Chains A and B, each alone.
Chain A
Amino acid sequence: MKTTVDHLLALGDDALIAAQRLGEWVAAAPELEEDVALANIALDQLGAARLLLTYAGELEGAGRDEDALAYLRDDREFRNCLLVELPNGDFAVTMAKLLFLAAYQLTLYTALSGCADERLAAIASKARKEVAYHLDHARLWTVRLGDGTAESHRRMQAAVDEIWPYTHELFLPDPTAPVDPAGLRAEFLAIVEPVLAEATLERPADDWAPEGGRRGLHTEHLSYLLAEMQVLHRAHPGARW
Chain B
Amino acid sequence: MSDDPRTRTGGGAPAKTADRSGWPLWEVFVRPRRGLAHHHVGSLHAPDAELALRNARDLYTRRQEGVSIWVVPAAAITASSPDEKDAFFAPAADKVYRHPTFYEVPEGAAHL
* Inter-chain residue pair count (beta carbon < 8 A): 39
Prevailing SS type, chain B contact patch: loop
In-complex Cβ contact of A33 among B6, B50, B59 (8 A) = B59
Tell me if B45 and A144 are in contact (CB < 8 A): no
Tell me if B5 and A149 are in contact (CB < 8 A): yes
Which chain A positions have C-beta within 8 A of B4? Answer: 149
Contact of A158 with B by CB under 8 A:
no
In-complex Cβ contact of A31 among B5, B8, B45 (8 A) = B45
Which chain A positions have C-beta within 8 A of B55? Answer: 33, 36-37
Contact of B23 with A by CB under 8 A:
yes
- Nearest chain A CB to B21 CB, angstrom units: 6
Please, how many residues of chain A have a CB less than 8 angstroms from a CB on the other chain? 18
Contact of A133 with B by CB under 8 A:
yes
Please, how many residues of chain B have a CB less than 8 angstroms from a CB on the other chain? 20
List B residues 1-52 near A (Cβ within 8 Å): 1-6, 8, 21, 23, 44-47, 50-51
Interface centre among B51, B59, B63 (most CB of A within 10 A): B51
Q: How far is the CA of A133 from the CA of B55 in the complex (A)?
A: 12
Which chain A positions have C-beta within 8 A of B46? Answer: 33
Which chain B positions have C-beta within 8 A of A140? Answer: 50-51, 54
Tell me if B3 and A144 are in contact (CB < 8 A): no
List A residues 193-239 near B (Cβ within 8 Å): 200
Q: How far is the CA of A113 from the CA of B6 in the complex (A)?
A: 40
Q: How far is the CA of A27 from the CA of B46 in the complex (A)?
A: 17
Interface centre among B1, B21, B44 (most CB of A within 10 A): B1
Q: How far is the CA of A140 from the CA of B2 in the complex (A)?
A: 20
Tell me if A147 and B6 are in contact (CB < 8 A): yes
Contact of A153 with B by CB under 8 A:
yes
In-complex Cβ contact of B51 among A33, A147, A149, A153 (8 A) = A33
Cβ-closest 8 pairs across A and B: A33-B55, A150-B1, A149-B5, A36-B58, A40-B58, A150-B3, A153-B1, A37-B58
A-B contact pairs, 18 of them (CB 8 A): A31-B21, A31-B45, A32-B45, A33-B44, A33-B46, A36-B55, A36-B59, A37-B54, A37-B58, A136-B54, A137-B54, A140-B51, A140-B54, A144-B8, A147-B8, A148-B5, A150-B3, A153-B1
A37-B54, A144-B47, A148-B5 known; 15 other A-B pairs, CB under 8 Å? Answer: A31-B21, A31-B23, A31-B45, A32-B45, A33-B45, A33-B51, A36-B55, A37-B58, A133-B63, A136-B54, A140-B54, A144-B8, A147-B6, A147-B8, A149-B4
